[in-house]
Structure 1
Amino acid sequence: MKIAAIQMSSKMALSANLETATKLIHDAVQSGAELVLLPEYFYCMGQSDTDRVALAEPYLKGPIQDFLAQTAKQHNIWLIAGSVPISSAQPEKFYNTQLLFNPEGICQGRYDKVHLFAFGNEAESYRESDTMMAGDSIVDFTVGDLRIRPSICYDLRFPEFYRQQFGYQLITVPAAFTYTTGKDHWELLLRTRAIENQCYLIAAAQTGQHENGSRTFGHSMIIDPWGRILSSLEEQQGVILAEIEMDELDKIRTQLPALNNRIFS
């Protein structure tokens, strides 16, 4: 299967971001992608986190989800929305949710981000818990014979998250990693998660200087189970692609049976 990661520098206006996503998804499909991953917050990098609260939609209903369903169906692809704002019982908060749409445009998977980012220094600070509800479940997506472990951004820092209910072949990491943390940690964390779980990993990132003044790191990547970077993009908007080779994954797990040799799990 050929998979693609979309890298965006999202703006504050939903319409502009959906227009950019449309173009980049089209480019991915023209290059043969069967599964496409969008970055976290592809729909909006707002002036403040409360801007995303205002865009929150009921699950399975709303313009963002309608766009995703129609796009998946139009292109006959599996489309994974890096994150969508899904309404919660608390009107001032939303779930940061990853959704899987099949080639018929039907939503077949939902993951609510479990780990909510917190960071602060003299120049910048973030506390997602002010506007987000944390998910409480680890789930997997199924695409044919491929099992996927969805995760979002800050989840990447918690290796135990990926060892629970093991059995997948691909990790998704849509992200809006800050430049401050990304320049030192992003590639290291991505390659480590792929190596220790002997699986493919696809990371779709936000990039560049945004209208709200924040800067994200970019550097979307697709990584194989040996930790090799198959495709990457620096800080421009665009698309990266690579093939998932199940024979290669099985060979690595057979030659180096680290997953079977675990003592603690």
Structure 2
Amino acid sequence: MDSSISITAVAYRVAYTESIAQDIFELDYSEGYDGVLVAAGDYTEDIAGRYAALKECRCILGISGITRDGKEALFYKSVYQANMEAAFRLEPPFALGLAQWRDREVPAYSQNQIFERIVPEHFKDGAEKTLIEAGEKQKESDVLLVVGKGVRSKEEVQKIKASAISRGYMFGVTRPVAMNGWALIDEIVGVSGHIYSPEVCITIGVSGSAAFYAGIENSGFIASVNNDECAPIIGMSDVFVIDDYENILERLFQVL
């Protein structure tokens, strides 16, 4: 609706700021938000800044309110040592850090969905190596198959996992897949999971965040299947197929 603002509110616990920023980035990729507003707090600037760096978008901190001007939103903040207030127009995407909220009679929100997310702690290099050594390590293979949120259900994820394991491949998932409960936390690939260096890495429905890519960048060859030609993973791949994975998965396994 032109007269309202649609907001999805997300609360976090048990997470570092870099993990929160990365999680918001992945949520944004799947949901397509116009922008992100980080609530006022001790880590507002850190989270907003990290998200803006990942998104490569404009970031304004110290926001005190939002109004509408037709179809556009105006964002307010104090300037000139708090002696004046300025209004900014930003084209999506954008990142905002809230300083304090002033009642400006903003129109009622069309939706306000509040949900809590728990993201795993960010593992530094040393801790990550310990995690891999301590966990139940998969049998070494020249092929790694990684499933992302583009695979649309837990049943499909488990079906692909069973096919991969039956062929002797290593299997992994992106963090959003595990956070949805569609796979094990220990199957996450990336900075908050496992780091692999297979001869061939195949990604299916993976968007390709920087945190994920750290887990596969040492692969000898990367092949990706995605129905979004603008997904970051496309630029990271040696070869890719723009199509729904269901149309080519069986043939792909035959080739391998």
TM-score by length of 1: 0.28
Q: Which has the larger radius of gyration?
A: 2
TM-score by length of 2: 0.28
Higher RCO structure, 1 or 2 (CA under 8 Å, sep 6+): 1
